[in-house]
Copies of this chain bind each other. A is one copy, B any other.
């Protein structure tokens, strides 16, 4: 029986670095396309969420994107400056800030449809491989988000 190979500290063998490098490269690939829309990559993600469902609170946006208010608040203020979203406290709970698309924000949706198309062309990857890789990454993130097996054994 073969033993599991001992993990090393060699950069090229690390999954973490492959992930980190690929993620930054992906963002860099989006950058010129998004620049044409006046968006950064994290701003684009916020717009994706709002195009699906408008009027979410900062908390709900944060749950969807796994980002906290320290990241979202200034980002949303910049989107507000760009007249793509509005921010206002909810009357039923003044702690919550609701983010709504402006007309300009809604209008941007159509132009953004080209972005995933452009990227799909760039990838030279079958739809099956695309879906498989995407779902493996989701599964990996879920694994890492879950508490460790060892923890919480004794309540």
Contacts and interface: CB of A to CB of B under 8 A. Distances in A.
A12 to B, nearest CB: 8
Interface in A5-40: 5-11, 13-30
A109 to B, nearest CB: 7
A19 B19 CA distance: 7
A66 interface: yes
Given A20-B23, A140-B133, A11 B127 contact: no
A117 interface: yes
Chain copies in the assembly?
2
A1 interface: no
Contact of A22 (B51, B125, B141): B141
Contact of A136 (B16, B49, B109, B133): B133
Interface stretch (A77-85, A87-95, A97-105, A143-151): A143-151
Interface of A: 4-11, 13-30, 41, 45, 48-49, 51-52, 64-66, 109, 112-113, 115-117, 119-120, 122-125, 127, 130, 133-138, 140-141, 143-145, 148
15 contacts: A8-B116, A11-B48, A15-B123, A16-B26, A17-B48, A18-B137, A20-B45, A21-B138, A22-B138, A22-B140, A22-B141, A26-B140, A122-B148, A123-B144, A133-B140
